[in-house]
Amino acid sequence: MKSFEFFIAKRYIKARSNSNFITIISMVSIVGITIGIAALIVALSVFNGFADLAKKIFLKNDPHIKIVYRKTVSLEKILEIEKIILSLKDETKEVSRYFEGKVLLMKNRQSLPIVLKGLQSLYSDKNEGSLLRLKYGSDINPKSKERTAIIGTFLAVKNALVVNDSIFIISFDGLAKSVSGFSIPPIAKFRISGIYESFNKEFDMTYVFISYENAKKILGRKTIADGIEIRLKNPMKANDLIKKIKEITGENDAQILSWRDLRKDLYFMMDLERIVAFIILLMIIAVASFNLMGSLSMTVIEKKRDIALFRSLGVLPKSIRKIFMLEGIIISLIGIVAGSVLGYIICWAQINYKLYPLDGTRYIIDALPVSLRWEDFAAIAIFSLALTFIASYVPAKKASESQIAESLKWE
């Protein structure tokens, strides 16, 4: 059953003496909150869009779980860990042993520090190779005796390298030995068999892929792997799997990292950015709440005589407070709903009609990325309601404290 407080609050918002239009004062408050909410939703959704895009790119190139063996780990332990990981076949997409190490790449009398990587799939040797999208050329053939490598697009463009060019690789290990032993450093010649594109400039510039066997030789490794890289069907489940793997391995055997750990600082920065943007944009709602507080205070002054009359008719002060609290809350709810709808429409239009396009030749996307999340809507609604609740409380309390006789006596 609706209460008389609600009946009165609703009428105060809606009607002014004989017109049935919404009052200007309520309208201004509603518009303020609507704009604030819409701005918050659009801004957060753009942040989400960029974060999702970055995550998508990183998740494509980065392993979802990376196990890095310690130097002291035994071969038995490595095999035990691999057995566990292979038993989780339902969750994993690809599992590869890897060798990884810094080397110098020599070309055109220049030397560049790069990271050399060799992968060996634990499921079959078919997948051995870069696992990346090849733009030109072909993948590494692990069966072939020939030394072949795959390099990134940016590295290729910057150093004028094309498919079938030769590059020379010197390991830092070999370099150190040659300096102390006054011998010529061991140089390995590779043919570029393919060029990949990762959409990540840093990754493109850094990683050069060769076969697992070649990597073992060049990097001078004695073990069966530096570690294991796992790609999952659902990267969001990385932590669950890590928990299972950690049951049999200790910190002494291996370091286990999730995709989030691999770029901890970046993901932390993205989260921080979102929170800061949320807080700053919440200021818009705070301003709108002050506006609401002002307009409600004016209503309370305007309705001074009505309040006295209600009190003389037997309305308790707490019900008077309730009437004006309800008025504030109804106004803010209208604003929150309208703002959410407006924000949603803007984001939807951006997704479907690209209101704000980007230059597709310069960026990897053709429009400002936007991603809507219901958690944002919930958080915004809760915080806005809390702010407007406080804003309504002050004038409502003042209304409940007014003296009856004084307001009725003095015209």
Partner 1 sequence: MDNNFILIARSVSKTFVNAHGEKLTVVKNASLILEGGLITAIYGPSGAGKSTLLHILAGIEKPDDGAEILIEGENIANMSEKKLSDFRNKKIGLVFQFHYLLPEFTALENVMMPMLIAGDSFNKAEQKARVLLDLVGMNYRANHKPAELSGGEQQRLSIARALANDPKIIFADEPTGNLDSANSEAISKLFIDLKISLKKTFLIVTHNKDLISLADRSFEMRDGVLNCKF
Give me the residues that bind partner 1 (CB under 8 A), please.
1-2, 4, 7, 11-12, 15-18, 305-306, 308-317, 319, 404-405, 408-409, 411
Tell how far CA 187 is from the center of its chain.
42
| Smallest separation (angstroms) from partner 1 to the CB of 391 | 22
| Smallest separation (angstroms) from partner 1 to the CB of 306 | 6
Nearer to partner 1, 54 or 404 (CB): 404
| Smallest separation (angstroms) from partner 1 to the CB of 323 | 11
89, 276 contact by CB (below 8 A): no
Question: What is the distance between the alpha carbons of residues 201 and 367, in angstroms, rounded to a whole number?
Answer: 20
The single residue listed with the structure tokens 């990325």 is: 369
Nearer to partner 1, 223 or 319 (CB): 319
Nearer to partner 1, 1 or 184 (CB): 1
Q: Which of 151, 105, 145 is nearest to 130 (CA)?
A: 151
| Smallest separation (angstroms) from partner 1 to the CB of 233 | 58
The H or E element containing residue 106 is: strand 92-107
The H or E element containing residue 203 is: helix 201-206
Per the structure block, which two tokens stand in for 18? 């004989």
CA distance to 92, 197, 276, 306, 342, per residue, from 192 (Å): 30, 14, 46, 86, 53
| Smallest separation (angstroms) from partner 1 to the CB of 13 | 10
Nearer to partner 1, 277 or 404 (CB): 404
Per the structure block, which two tokens stand in for 266? 């970046």
Instruction: Return the amino acid letter for 5.
Output: E
| Smallest separation (angstroms) from partner 1 to the CB of 398 | 17
| Smallest separation (angstroms) from partner 1 to the CB of 316 | 5
CA dihedral 6, 8, 14, 15 (to 10 degrees): 170
Nearer to partner 1, 145 or 409 (CB): 409
In terms of Cβ atoms closer than 10 Å to its own Cβ (0-12, 13-18, 19+), residue 374 is exposed
Q: How many other CB atoms are found less than 10 A from the CB of residue 330?
A: 19
Nearer to partner 1, 247 or 411 (CB): 411
Nearer to partner 1, 14 or 354 (CB): 14
